Amino acid sequence: MHAFRRPRLDDAAALYDLISAYETSVLGAPDMTLQDVEDELVEPDFDRDRDGWVAEEPGGRLLASAWACQVGDSDLVDVDVIVRPGAEELTGPLWEKVLGRAREQAAAHGHDGATVQIGVHRADAGKQALVKERGFEPGTSFHRMRIDFTGPVEAPPAPAGLTLHSGESEQVRREAHRVHQEGFAEHFGFVPLPYEHWYERRQAQSVHDWSQLALARIDGRPAGVVIGNDQFLPDQGCGYVATLAVLPEFRGRGLGRFLLRHAFAADFARGRKGTILHVDSNNTTPALGLYESAGMRRVMAIDVWRRRS
């Protein structure tokens, strides 16, 4: 019988070793970085004393990790269970813990149950089968898209009446928040967040940089936003588009394509090798087609599974 304890900030390196072992067994190489792990441990919505568990050997090597993180005050709870190859006996007990914690989190906010959500690499057939056995059903799939720069990338010409504004000012950030919330309102799994929470989550990320936010105004009115960060810079030398949103009334005018190409040009100007983003393959807007037509290609697929608990 293995004992479980709560994760600590000083577990980052050991957690990275565990996650790297798991991802290498599935993908052939680690996908997360140590910086990613450190950021997850200080995520404002994650309570290390209540929402996570680790199991370790006497020598300190971690064998497994699990967590349940509620999204805002909704009934949606993101979870994961990561087990080092060879320690699969820990899987069952950890699933009991995360599902139980998800129910507690949902009940604490007045919900009669939790919608539990997990993202699983499509390459991990074993974990896909495992979550299906536990009553999860397919929700959607996210594709990681990438473009590599093979030559100079010029900034695109701006549509008539368009101006761009960086995210260093609070006014621009507040307008960007509104565009993000309204632009994603109908997307899978979207949970609205007040500005203060939205701002806090980005501030907590070591990879975030407000200068990589570009708010597009058309004739002075907020219309679209692209938010980049440095998540894929340390290991892949690429920029990352974390958010690209256009308000419904401004769609169909080429604004999404302009913001995407602006992000490419900005990443090239920063000396990056390319740009990466994730897109819901069932997006309510034709985003996947836009990214493919702009020269991006799929390099990874992550399937999202859900169940009620």
Domain ranges of the chain: 4-135, 145-302
Three-state secondary-structure class, residue 236: helix
Token reading at 87 = 């320690």
Neighbours of 69 (CB within 10 A): 21
CA distance 61 to 248: 50
Closest to 267 in 3D by CA, of 166, 148, 95: 148
Whether domain 4-135 has CATH 3.30.499.10: no
The DSSP letter of residue 286 is S
Which residues, in sequence order, are CB contacts of 208 under 8 Å at separation 6+? Answer: 202, 229, 230
Domain 4-135 shares a fold with domain 145-302: yes
Q: How far apart are CA 192 and CA 178, in angstroms?
A: 10
Distance, in Å, from the CA atom of 176 to the CA atom of 242, rounded to the nearest integer, reads 13
Pick from 298, 308, 228, 309: nearest CA to 269: 228
pLDDT higher than 90, residue 3: no
Tally the C-alpha atoms within 13 A of residue 104's C-alpha that lie toward its C-beta.
10
What pLDDT sits at residue 283?
A: 73
**Strand-pair partners of 306:** 117, 137
Band (pLDDT 50/70/90 cuts) for residue 1 is low
Q: Dump pLDDT digits (tens) for 125-143.
A: 999 999 999 999 999 999 9
- Mean pLDDT for 171-194 is 95
| Rounded average pLDDT over 45-56 | 97
Overall average pLDDT of the 91-109 stretch: 97
> Cα–Cα distance between 89 and 6 in angstroms, integer?
19
Q: What is the mean pLDDT of residues 61-89?
A: 97
Helix ranges (H only) for 184-254 are 195-203, 233-236
Q: What confidence tens digit (pLDDT) does each residue in 214-262 have?
A: 999 999 999 999 999 999 999 999 999 999 999 999 999 999 999 999 9
CATH 3.40.630.190 assigned to domain 145-302? The reply is no
The confidence score (pLDDT) of residue 58 equals 87
What is the average per-residue pLDDT within 153-160?
Answer: 94
pLDDT above 70 for 32? yes
Please state, in angstroms and rounded to a whole number, the distance separating the CA atoms of residues 44 and 3.
Answer: 26
Mean pLDDT over residues 266-284, rounded?
93
User: Residue 284 — very low, low, confident or very high, per pLDDT cuts 50/70/90?
Assistant: low
Q: Which amino acid is at 235?
A: D
Q: Looking at the predicted structure, is the pLDDT value of residue 23 above 60? A: yes
> What average pLDDT score do residues 253-282 get?
96
| Alpha helices for 73-146 (secondary structure H) | 91-108, 125-133
First-last CA distance in the chain: 26
What is the distance between the alpha carbons of residues 246 and 248, in angstroms, rounded to a whole number?
Answer: 6
For residues 153-175, give the mean pLDDT.
96
- The band of 281, judged by pLDDT with boundaries at 50, 70 and 90, is confident
- Alpha-carbon distances, residue 283 vs 74, 82, 103, 252 (angstroms): 21, 28, 28, 15
pTM of the complete model: 0.94
Cβ atoms of 77 and 71 closer than 8 Å: yes
